[in-house]
Chain A
């Protein structure tokens, strides 16, 4: 939620800290700050603090608690606040019936006449709304929105002259239709609730107002309403109709019904201020009396707690005086030694405190909530870590976990690398109810499909990986239908391919897998039965159901647990751009070796490195060393007194696609170096 520093300042006489300082305070004591622009802070209010912090008043209270600066306005703490009551000058009053007090906990309403006399110029309120990213619509709508962002109470104004008869808050009828302010028609169910008159629904309660009694430029009198609705019911309706908005958000997070009257009073006094701002300096608006239907009054929560429990759970000794001071700043009334005998059983010994929680702090219900309040306000930095006593040591490891980890070790030993692929797939037995993307419409029924694709991709990159064979495996779950439910199975899948053709190894992939599984069997002491094996030429993919086999054998020594794993890895980003391969073979006279060492037994590697040094010079000439990512000597042969060295060069850039033309330039520079030495390029 966006909060304005200027707006927050209206709650204080003394200047509040700068936005940056507030952001820091909030981060360590209240909630995350997701953005800070000019004097507007974007604070992340999670559901626990949403009862009171989806409002400037709530955030101002946090500031007061954290900085000890007193609030200028009364913040309804434990009683109804005394927002100045506007003088009542007409007798017109709405007749309101609440059919279900479980749904509508409170409903306040009043008529206001002469509304068309308000000048549309409402600079202060409109400016504050615009600052927090809202639109300015009309003086009345702006004021209702202002009240919501100011104290967290959604309010609504109806065109009073378009209301027919009395007001009733009732469940919608099946199939009942209403056109809302957005101009769209919605069909309701009996689970929804409406504010209605004798002509039908005027408003979907807690969600959005209807078109029929919309306040327009021609509106002469309004019915102001400020109410409280059941959070779950509002959430169900707003979710089903896809009508989540600022008002429904506050209701579904639950606000205290105590706030409804406060909202009505603030709404009235703001309207009055607007109308007295006119030249005549007297009120032109005529207010009717407030009708307040409040069937079941909210009860303040009382939490009984032993102050030492707070320090115990935080793991740091917070002085009692500090706790008392924080509670006071939170508006929590403290009575000492007033806890009842029954609740005393919860607490080991000592003093009991009875805490009366402000109405709006619906998040505070149990002693642990108080532990959190004291902890965050006192500051978690005071908590000093200590290791828990090692009182327990049941070193149990699930059999399947033990064996899967063991198998991973054997397979990597056999040259197979581990991959993790996606569980979500375009198709499968078990489908996602509302997929966001077509490739995430179901969960996989096998690993082989994904692993085959993965194998092909890695085969394409074999050169740059410097691999002659690609060998990969995944251990993961697959999901199939099983009667009216589903089955989750752990699968080991292996895939292998020989990249460089080798004579007599046409089925190399299958041979690799067989070899690896033999090793697995010898280490595990039992054979894994292959469920499926697909072998085609040099490629093979196979699947094994792990849990079935392991559940049958299942015996291992806990002494054998070897999870300690030392690693000193440094990861380097790799290029996602295509690479270019060039081979170069050079005939050099064997004598050339003798330039420095002069022995007939000069071995080939010396000469090879000599040749490589010269090639490298050519690459440096072309200023291309940065794009040479790999090279290898892949062939050597002698013919008469000459030796041929064949090198493979792989070029790739981190940030662009290389062209053949630019690699050709590099090769030319290399050829030039070769020519200068009198070497022959084949």
Chain B
């Protein structure tokens, strides 16, 4: 039990490790990596993802809206002046990105601009934000890993096969997943994916087939192309895999936590 005075190696945070693990599996299926900004515009985060203005689906995520520079200058002015400036330039309003799905649009747009048509396979890890009270299972920031595949013919079977491969690598070869119906405006059909965990099942990601409106927003013809998309909640996977009961430990900077990985 005596400590040896060896030269200590540092530790990679489990978020980095888990993102790499998933990327490794997806890279073997031909997925390339993309990244997006953490400050996003309303257009990429909502409008282009088929989440219309003044629509209840915007309530599904509590958003950190950012003050515009105009608002800063108008500090002290009336509320209505602020409202007007915000609504005239609505799609440019800034926010802390609530979902890595925004990267889907940026990625496809860029490819199309560069004259590159699908097929596309892309994975996009990123930090996202939700403006909600924090507790052991909720954080204002967390990590997602988005996956998007675009091809001529894409089905739920392709989605399931891809996800099964990832989970078998993360949780072992007897790992099983299942689909449940859900709603995310940017996919149709929309699914929750559960992974078998002990005697029960745990919800680990949202997924579905890319909604035609998302393709349109990115300048891709939905009559020609189909796709699937999914978003892992990295933090949740880590908590599950290592039996961590408080998400806040991930952002505590505490080496009593990090040095175990």
The interface of chain A, by Cβ under 8 A from chain B, is: 27-32, 46-50, 189, 231-233, 235-236, 249, 252-253, 312-316, 345-346, 366, 368-369, 371-372, 375-376, 380-381, 383-388, 390-398, 400-401, 405, 408-409, 411-424, 430-434, 436, 440, 443, 450-451, 453-454, 457-458, 461, 464-467, 470-474, 476-477, 479, 481, 484-486, 488, 561, 563-565, 567, 569-574, 608-609, 612, 631-633
Do residues B154 and A27 form an inter-chain contact, with CB atoms below 8 A? no
B197: Cβ under 8 A from any A Cβ? no
Q: Write out the residue numbers on chain A whose beta carbons fall within 8 Å of the beta carbon of B66.
A: 430-433, 443
Which single member of B2, B20, B71, B188 contacts A368 (CB below 8 Å)?
B188
Which single member of B242, B255, B260 contacts A467 (CB below 8 Å)?
B255
Do residues B11 and A412 form an inter-chain contact, with CB atoms below 8 A? yes
Q: Write out the residue numbers on chain B whose beta carbons fall within 8 Å of the beta carbon of A477.
A: 38, 127
Q: Write out the residue numbers on chain B whose beta carbons fall within 8 Å of the beta carbon of A422.
A: 140-141, 251
B135: Cβ under 8 A from any A Cβ? no
Do residues A412 and B9 form an inter-chain contact, with CB atoms below 8 A? yes
Inter-chain CA distance A386–B256, complex, in Å, is 41
Do residues A47 and B55 form an inter-chain contact, with CB atoms below 8 A? yes
Interchain nearest-CB distance for B150 vs A (Å): 9
Interface string of B1-35 (1 = CB under 8 A from A): 11100011111111111001101100101101111
B171: Cβ under 8 A from any A Cβ? no
Do residues A567 and B21 form an inter-chain contact, with CB atoms below 8 A? yes
Q: Write out the residue numbers on chain A whose beta carbons fall within 8 Å of the beta carbon of B30.
A: 390-395
Q: Write out the residue numbers on chain A whose beta carbons fall within 8 Å of the beta carbon of B160.
A: 315, 383-386
Q: Write out the residue numbers on chain B whose beta carbons fall within 8 Å of the beta carbon of A411.
A: 10
Q: Write out the residue numbers on chain B whose beta carbons fall within 8 Å of the beta carbon of A486.
A: 39, 94
Interface of B is mostly: mixed
Interface string of B24-62 (1 = CB under 8 A from A): 100101101111011100000000000001111100100
Interface string of B156-192 (1 = CB under 8 A from A): 1111111111000000000000111111010011111
Inter-chain CA distance A539–B60, complex, in Å, is 44
16 other contacts beyond A233-B54, A398-B35, A432-B65, with CB at 8 A cut-off?
Answer: A46-B57, A252-B54, A313-B156, A387-B162, A388-B158, A412-B11, A415-B10, A417-B255, A418-B11, A419-B255, A420-B13, A422-B140, A423-B127, A423-B141, A564-B20, A571-B244
In the complex, how many residues of chain B place their beta carbon closer than 8 angstroms to a beta carbon of chain A? 101
Q: Write out the residue numbers on chain B whose beta carbons fall within 8 Å of the beta carbon of A465.
A: 255-256, 259
Do residues B253 and A457 form an inter-chain contact, with CB atoms below 8 A? yes
Q: Write out the residue numbers on chain A whose beta carbons fall within 8 Å of the beta carbon of B53.
A: 232
Q: Write out the residue numbers on chain B whose beta carbons fall within 8 Å of the beta carbon of A375.
A: 156, 181, 189
Do residues A392 and B258 form an inter-chain contact, with CB atoms below 8 A? no
Which single member of A235, A467, A561 contacts B8 (CB below 8 Å)?
A467
Do residues A388 and B154 form an inter-chain contact, with CB atoms below 8 A? yes
Inter-chain CA distance A411–B245, complex, in Å, is 28
Which single member of B9, B165, B178 contacts A387 (CB below 8 Å)?
B165
25 A/B residue pairs, CB under 8 Å, sorted by A: A31-B181, A46-B60, A47-B56, A47-B57, A249-B56, A313-B156, A372-B190, A388-B151, A394-B30, A397-B33, A405-B20, A409-B12, A416-B10, A431-B66, A432-B131, A451-B253, A472-B255, A473-B10, A484-B69, A565-B24, A569-B14, A571-B261, A572-B260, A609-B2, A612-B1
Q: A380-B178, A481-B69 are in contact. Are A419 and B156 (CB under 8 A)?
A: no
Q: Which residue of B has the minimal Cβ distance to A434?
A: B65
Q: Write out the residue numbers on chain B whose beta carbons fall within 8 Å of the beta carbon of A409.
A: 12
Q: Write out the residue numbers on chain A whose beta carbons fall within 8 Å of the beta carbon of B254.
A: 457-458, 461
Question: Which interface residue of B39, B162, B250 has the most chain A CB atoms within 10 A?
Answer: B39
Inter-chain CA distance A484–B23, complex, in Å, is 36
Do residues A386 and B13 form an inter-chain contact, with CB atoms below 8 A? no
Which single member of A231, A392, A431 contacts B119 (CB below 8 Å)?
A392
Interchain nearest-CB distance for B210 vs A (Å): 9
Q: A312-B153, A422-B251 are in contact. Are A368 and B181 (CB under 8 A)?
A: no
Inter-chain CA distance A249–B59, complex, in Å, is 12
Inter-chain CA distance A458–B179, complex, in Å, is 42
Which single member of B20, B188, B212 contacts A565 (CB below 8 Å)?
B20
Inter-chain CA distance A28–B181, complex, in Å, is 7
Q: Write out the residue numbers on chain A whose beta carbons fall within 8 Å of the beta carbon of B243.
A: 571, 573
Question: Which interface residue of A431, A440, A561 has the most chain B CB atoms within 10 A?
Answer: A440
B133: Cβ under 8 A from any A Cβ? yes
Do residues A376 and B37 form an inter-chain contact, with CB atoms below 8 A? no
Inter-chain CA distance A418–B245, complex, in Å, is 20
B67: Cβ under 8 A from any A Cβ? yes
Do residues A420 and B15 form an inter-chain contact, with CB atoms below 8 A? yes
The interface of chain B, by Cβ under 8 A from chain A, is: 1-3, 7-17, 20-21, 23-24, 27, 29-30, 32-35, 37-39, 53-57, 60, 64-67, 69, 71-72, 80, 94, 96, 119-121, 127, 129, 131-133, 140-141, 149, 151, 153-165, 178-183, 185, 188-192, 209, 211-212, 223, 226, 242-245, 250-251, 253-261
Do residues A48 and B183 form an inter-chain contact, with CB atoms below 8 A? yes
Q: A380-B191, A431-B66, A431-B67 are in contact. Are A387 and B29 (CB under 8 A)?
A: yes
Q: A372-B190, A420-B250, A472-B253 are in contact. Are A485 and B162 (CB under 8 A)?
A: no
Q: Which residue of B has the minimal Cβ distance to A363?
A: B183
Q: Which residue of A has the minimal Cβ distance to B226?
A: A313
Inter-chain CA distance A49–B56, complex, in Å, is 12
Do residues A414 and B182 form an inter-chain contact, with CB atoms below 8 A? no
Inter-chain CA distance A574–B256, complex, in Å, is 7
Q: Write out the residue numbers on chain B whose beta carbons fall within 8 Å of the beta carbon of A571.
A: 242-244, 260-261
Do residues B181 and A315 form an inter-chain contact, with CB atoms below 8 A? no
Which single member of B3, B65, B155 contacts A466 (CB below 8 Å)?
B3
Do residues A461 and B255 form an inter-chain contact, with CB atoms below 8 A? yes
Do residues A394 and B188 form an inter-chain contact, with CB atoms below 8 A? no
Q: Write out the residue numbers on chain B whose beta carbons fall within 8 Å of the beta carbon of A345.
A: 223
Interchain nearest-CB distance for A278 vs B (Å): 42
Q: Which residue of B has the minimal Cβ distance to A484?
A: B69
Q: Write out the residue numbers on chain A whose beta carbons fall within 8 Å of the beta carbon of B163.
A: 385
Q: Write out the residue numbers on chain B whose beta carbons fall within 8 Å of the beta carbon of A461.
A: 254-256
Inter-chain CA distance A574–B24, complex, in Å, is 30
Q: Write out the residue numbers on chain A whose beta carbons fall within 8 Å of the beta carbon of B155.
A: 312-315
Q: Which residue of A has the minimal Cβ distance to B111?
A: A394
Which single member of B33, B151, B161, B244 contacts A401 (CB below 8 Å)?
B33
Inter-chain CA distance A415–B7, complex, in Å, is 8
Interchain nearest-CB distance for B113 vs A (Å): 15
Q: A401-B33, A432-B66 are in contact. Are A424 and B10 (CB under 8 A)?
A: no
Which single member of B127, B153, B157, B183 contacts A383 (CB below 8 Å)?
B157
Do residues B156 and A415 form an inter-chain contact, with CB atoms below 8 A? no
Q: Which residue of A has the minimal Cβ distance to B255?
A: A458
Do residues A418 and B16 form an inter-chain contact, with CB atoms below 8 A? yes
Q: Which residue of B has the minimal Cβ distance to A253?
A: B56
Do residues A387 and B13 form an inter-chain contact, with CB atoms below 8 A? no
Q: Which residue of A has the minimal Cβ distance to B260?
A: A571
Q: A372-B189, A436-B133 are in contact. Are A415 and B8 (CB under 8 A)?
A: yes
Question: Which interface residue of A236, A420, A440, A609 has the most chain B CB atoms within 10 A?
Answer: A420
Question: Which interface residue of A372, A451, A631 has the most chain B CB atoms within 10 A?
Answer: A372
Interchain nearest-CB distance for B7 vs A (Å): 7
Interchain nearest-CB distance for A520 vs B (Å): 13
Q: Write out the residue numbers on chain A whose beta carbons fall within 8 Å of the beta carbon of B120.
A: 392
- Give the 7 A-B residue pairs with the shortest CB-CB distance, closest first: A315-B157, A315-B155, A385-B160, A372-B189, A571-B242, A454-B253, A385-B161
Do residues B188 and A372 form an inter-chain contact, with CB atoms below 8 A? yes
Do residues A563 and B158 form an inter-chain contact, with CB atoms below 8 A? no
Q: Which residue of A has the minimal Cβ distance to B54?
A: A232
Interchain nearest-CB distance for B17 vs A (Å): 6
Q: Write out the residue numbers on chain B whose beta carbons fall within 8 Å of the beta carbon of A563.
A: 20, 23-24, 27
Q: Write out the residue numbers on chain B whose beta carbons fall within 8 Å of the beta carbon of A386.
A: 157-158, 160-161
Q: Write out the residue numbers on chain A whose beta carbons fall within 8 Å of the beta carbon of B259.
A: 417, 465
Interchain nearest-CB distance for B236 vs A (Å): 15
Inter-chain CA distance A631–B258, complex, in Å, is 21
Interchain nearest-CB distance for A490 vs B (Å): 10
